[in-house]
Amino acid sequence: MKRSEYESAKLRTKAMFEKAGIVLTDEESGNIEVAGFGLNDLERQGLELITYVNNARYCAKELVLFPRQTCPEHLHPPVGDDPGKTETFRCRSGKVFLYVDGQQTNGIQAVVPAGSEDYYTVYHEIVLEPGQQYTIVPGTLHWFQAGEEGAIVSEFSSTSRDEFDIFTDPRIERMPVIEED
């Protein structure tokens, strides 16, 4: 991802937090992460986030999705003696379409990113609106997409080890690579 795209996404993320009334410190604003997943398609497949805390016992984050932006399908595997990450998503603003293992929902509301259809395999739809939440147990394939206005989701979880996440799309690079313009 180009540095200019990364910086633009950070500014857009800050604006979404401000609009939602979520106050960030200067340090938190400086630590906004932009995950493009190496797909060069941030508008459709990506995620912006702030990690408030991540230690040996728990993790708290804010996830930002631009309008119709999708976090690609993945799972959180066991790591050593840890069974994998349990995470609760709580929608703060906008609408989120979350997909997990289970009976396929007919007529899903998300739009699977063109060219990546083969890498989306679970279609049990859970719709989260502000104040609603859902907990994902370790090893559960899942993906999610914001509605038309974008979304902010608070994530409360056990320890996060994003570098071990397993994505169904083999092209994904979880940790961002920023290229100078």
* pLDDT for the residue numbered 177: 78
CATH number of 3-167: 2.60.120.10
Residue type, 64: V
Residue 3: Cβ within 10 Å count: 11
For 136-163, what is each residue's pLDDT tens digit? Answer: 999 999 999 999 999 999 999 999 998 8
CA distance 5 to 8: 5
* pLDDT for the residue numbered 135: 98
For 22-81, what is each residue's pLDDT tens digit? Answer: 999 999 999 999 999 999 999 999 999 999 999 999 999 999 999 999 999 999 999 999
* pLDDT for the residue numbered 149: 97
For 79-114, what is each residue's pLDDT tens digit? Answer: 999 999 999 999 999 999 999 999 999 999 999 999
In the block, tokens 């083969």 appear at 118
Q: Mean of the pLDDT values across residues 131-140?
A: 97
From residue 53, alpha-carbon distances to 22, 57, 171 in Å are: 16, 10, 29
